[in-house]
A and B are shown apart, each in its own frame.
Chain A
Amino acid sequence: MDSAIRKEMLFHLTGKRAPDALDAIEELELRPALLARYRDLTRLRYDFPVVLVDAGPDGTFVRSLSEIVDEMLRKVAPRGVDGEGLRKHVLAVEREIRRLVAGGASGSLSSLWERAVREGAVGEGTALARYLADAGASLGVDGEVVDCDASMPRRLFTHAWRVAQERKARRLRSELSRLIVKLNDALRADFVKSEAGSRPESLKAALGDRHQGLFDFEAMSRLVSRATHGAPLSDARRNRIERVLATLRSQRFFAPAVGGSAARPDSLAFEFAFESAGEVLAAFRERLPSMIELTKAMAIAELEVDGRYSEAAHDGFFATFDEGAIGPEDLARFPDYLVCLKGGRVAADVPLMELLSSGVPVKVLVEVDDVLEDASLGKGQFAFGARNVQLASMALGLTDTYVLQSSSSNLLRMRQAIGRGLAAAGASLFSVFSPARGARGLPVYLVAAAALQSRAFPAFVYDPSAGPDLADRFSLQDNPDPEADWTVADFEYADAGMQRVKERLSFTFVDFLACDPRHSKHFARLPCAAWGDDLVPVADWLSQPDTAGSGRVPYLLAVDTENALQKVVVDERAILAARRCRETWHRLQELGGVHSSHAERLLAREKAVWEQRQVAEAETRAPAAAPAATVEPAATTPAAAAAEEAEPARSPDEAYIETMRCSSCNECTQINDKMFAYNANKQAYIADISAGTFRQLVEAAESCQLGIIHPGKPRNPREPGLEELLERARAFA
């Protein structure tokens, strides 16, 4: 082993770099090779910036700028050459907006559009300026434009939460309005029917100003008073309705609709966004009595509106109505609480798990800004921000909590899952990796995307309402290549002979680590002259279980600021961290049903049993014999047999009616309603054979148009005219 290789191995195993053989990467501004083409994000069309829109009919609360512009172009720019010019200019405006936002500009889409058109040096008053202004008016949506920066997750989630709450508020306001109107109608109807309501002045007031001169209200009052009225409302009922109305009108859980009556200061709606879990718990406890009162009032109101309130049955129940009577469906009608936490504070916020498991309808956003913090035990193994990275996994153990984990770069693609989480009943936890700043010239978006791609902060969703088991509830589908250990992408470069080379490169945890300057010490650049066969790509190295003593070292492919390829040796500690990251990813895959070890073992066992059975059957199969005769009992169909069994054995002399076929025509009951009666289905049967004569049986049989009455034989041999009656009865035997 030559000395160069020994120095590489020394660095790999110990992290100690020989300066004459390996270069430190701190000053080199290297980035992983797969990130080479993303130098200037403002020149690319991708998910950001996003526009926080008012909710559409499908509940969308966020859209990407590119998506909005594409939709607008479909409307205003004709296909083909004619529209190409406008399309080019519109896309230039979009690029300008992206540049402005990346530079820190803020505002609504409409205002940024105007600014971008202006600053794009389009002459005012020109046809192009008018076209672009019209295009801006055709955008169809407006809202705040937000780039992928440290503040984006909080702004996005707060906006989405407000949209979800407004939808909830509309539903509850509609319900409350209905109950208030119906209860008022009941009081009004009672007043109208009362003596006071029949007075001339009341009738005059009810008519309004316009046509009063046309009526004699004294005469009207006399007429109206003569009509009989139903019983007035009892005092108890009136008081109950008035109390309930007062509670419904004074609720503070939702603000009145826009344009509604102005609220007094003391009746302003409660605030539901807080900065800590402790504050949420305190607010919930404080408002619980009001919640109980409102739920009780709504229950009473619904019963009253439906006419089902019974004082004897319900007064006692409502007298002791407390929080025990409020179920999850009741809680779900009230606004959700929102609390936004920074990852560093989560550990200090002890009540967080208590809050998530309490059943309080709360939406918690935890912004994790670092997944690579070192262990507090000093140099050695990484802790990798275990407390924050593992928070979402810990919350899975709560089973009833909606959990979503993602990096901030992926939030647009997970907007539907975010919407579902915000609409879910009970608690929801959103754990988002949101880097505080970029690194090594990488913007925040790329750092966040690298965390997702490298499995350092994978995305997953756990939705308890999706079904009874993990297969329904847990999903990894928002990760790239969820079935693979690492994501893989194509990478093209020109070799020393300027020939194009295309490779498939994996983006591993080590690539993510290389993006963070704090961990530069785990990497060392190898000069080109030292590149040899002893170097193994990191992804291949990680896939080998035992690499000790192989005489080779792992390397990472990177690019410098000139986009020249570099190979960077990786030390063992970084490799160990990558292996742990992969193990964690494997655990998540198992939860998501990917490479489930239990399923694979069961499948292997079943396959072995099946194969054994196949072999056994092949050995015991006799030469073809005559096919066995089917020994099916021939005969009546089972239904017919059952039907025959169901019919009771009858004496041929007994009178009976085929009750099931009776059409309730009253012919027989008109003859003798003691002998013939209707059963619970209003079909005739012989109730009391002794209550009538054989003659009546025969007459009924003859009257019955369906012929289902069978007179049988007479019970009284001395009944007059029996011979004739028996002759007539023969037709109905």
Chain B
Amino acid sequence: MTTATQCLVHMHEEHHKLEDYQGGVPRWCNGCGDNAILAAVQRLCRDEDLRPEKTVFVSGIGCSSRLPHYMKTYGFHGIHGRALPIAEGVKMSRPDLNVFVNTGDGDCCSIGAAHWIHAIRYNMNLTMMLHDNHVYGLTKKQVSPTSPIGLKSNTTPRGSYLDALNPLTVTLGVQNVSFVAQVVDWIPEILYDVISAAFHHKGFSFVRVIQRCPEFLPKMFEPWLHDPQKTLLLSHENGLKISPALGRIYRNQLEHDPSDIDRAREIASQEDPIPVGILYRNPEVPCYEDIRNAGQLRTPEMIRAGFESELDKFTVWPQGPVPTQVSLTDERG
């Protein structure tokens, strides 16, 4: 950008209030943890002054996936399990946009599991929030991959048979993982800080939000809600910083360096107390869209150069040096 343009842009920058990001009135149940997540992302958009026309929320199917409707930004409410490939497509074609993904434990860990694994590996610069309420809520109570063993539901009247899948250990086991965090919806301060850290991380940021479902699992998290000792806050100078006020309530804390993946995997395996904070962060992992030069403008010159270069491979040259091959990346300088 030219110096003149920079000055002009700063002179006339718009600043948005939180309400400016509010789309429709949420239809979630009262007490639903989705409300906390919505409030946190709206705060983030306001604090980072994200331009609504440059911000996209992509979702699949589920209660979680209603979120794009409640944000006054671009949104894509996609089909079941396909939030991540849609978000990746958005990012590849428009790497300049801020892309968020909202998905649930069914949408991501069940039908969308394949896309989830490869999204981690591609490490595209997306911020993904897994709204994990441990149940299929929109369809009125069926077990999900993260439901606890023994949970009775419409599809498991005698109780579910299998141990729950742990999204953290799965994510940490995939090549190229670069950011993994876990939060709970009932500590809004940390919810915001972690989502903010996830947004600022360049790469695929996976944030598992353990959230309440007051309608179908009203008592599930009561022990954790009322006993701060059952929450383990992970803090570090390179990770989360705990405010004094919060520290007085949640005294169960652990200093954990987010660059230590082995320790992160250990911590991810434990479920009581719930570890809350940034488990792993590695800013050095390259992003797929950078590797593939996404967003490169296909100018007429570039297209012409590409054609010439391909046709030159089949041309019979007279004796003498072969003309220099023009690289498609030449225009980037």
Contact = CB atoms under 8 A, between A and B. Distances in A.
Interface of A: 54, 110, 142, 167-168, 170-171, 173-174, 177-178, 180-181, 256-260, 295-296, 298-299, 302-303, 306-308, 310, 313-314, 317, 321, 325-330, 333, 637, 639-640, 642-643, 646-647, 660-667, 670, 680-683, 703, 705-707
B30 A681 contact: no
6 contacts: A178-B299, A296-B4, A299-B5, A643-B245, A662-B188, A705-B31
Q: Which 9 A-B pairs have the closest CB atoms?
A: A664-B39, A639-B244, A327-B3, A663-B36, A177-B299, A171-B333, A682-B39, A170-B333, A643-B244
B333 A174 contact: yes
A325 B4 contact: yes
Interface in B257-307: 297-302, 304-305
A263 to B, nearest CB: 13
A682 B191 CA distance: 13
A173 B297 CA distance: 12
Interface residues of B, number: 55
Interface stretch (B8-16, B149-157, B232-240): B8-16
B31 A257 contact: no
A703 B32 CA distance: 12
Interface in B28-69: 28, 30-33, 35-36, 38-39, 42-43, 53
Given A257-B301, A664-B36, A681-B18, A705 B186 contact: yes
A683 B12 contact: no
A646 B301 contact: no
B91 interface: no
A659 to B, nearest CB: 10
Contacts of A321: 4
B1 interface: yes
A705 B220 CA distance: 12
Given A703-B31, A705-B212, A299 B333 contact: no
Contact of B8 (A167, A303, A640, A703): A303
B305 A259 contact: yes
Interface stretch (B105-113, B119-127, B324-332): B324-332
A306 B97 CA distance: 12
A466 B38 CA distance: 46
Contact of B331 (A177, A302, A333, A681): A177
Contacts of A306: 9
A661 B189 contact: yes
Interface string B187-200: 11101000000000
Nearest to A638: B244
Residue of B9, B28, B331 contacting most chain A CB atoms (<10 Å): B331
A110 B322 CA distance: 13
B226 interface: yes
A258 B226 CA distance: 71
Contacts of B330: 170
Given A329-B3, A646-B245, A665 B189 contact: no
A51 B28 CA distance: 71
Contact of A670 (B9, B11, B30, B185): B30
Contacts of B215: none
B225 to A, nearest CB: 6
B214 interface: yes
Given A665-B32, A706-B186, A329 B38 contact: no
Given A181-B299, A682-B42, A665 B8 contact: no
Contacts of B30: 665-667, 670, 703
Nearest to B297: A178
Contacts of A174: 297, 299, 331-333
A246 B294 CA distance: 28
Interface centre among B33, B226, B333 (most CB of A within 10 A): B333
Given A259-B301, A260-B301, A665 B4 contact: no
Contacts of A703: 30-31
A310 B17 CA distance: 21
B129 to A, nearest CB: 15
B139 interface: no
A670 B299 CA distance: 55
B163 interface: no
**Most A C-beta atoms less than 10 A away, residue of B186, B188, B189, B247:** B188
B308 interface: yes
Contacts of B12: 308, 310, 313-314
A134 to B, nearest CB: 16
A665 B17 CA distance: 20
Given A110-B321, A177-B301, A664-B188, A705 B214 contact: yes
B244 A302 contact: no
A258 B312 CA distance: 15
B62 to A, nearest CB: 18
B319 interface: no
B218 to A, nearest CB: 9
Contacts of A257: 301, 305, 331
Interface string B213-257: 010000000000110000000000000000011011100000000
B258 to A, nearest CB: 22
B324 to A, nearest CB: 8
B315 interface: no
Contact of A258 (B31, B302, B326): B326
Nearest to A666: B30
Nearest to A307: B53
Contacts of A667: 30-31
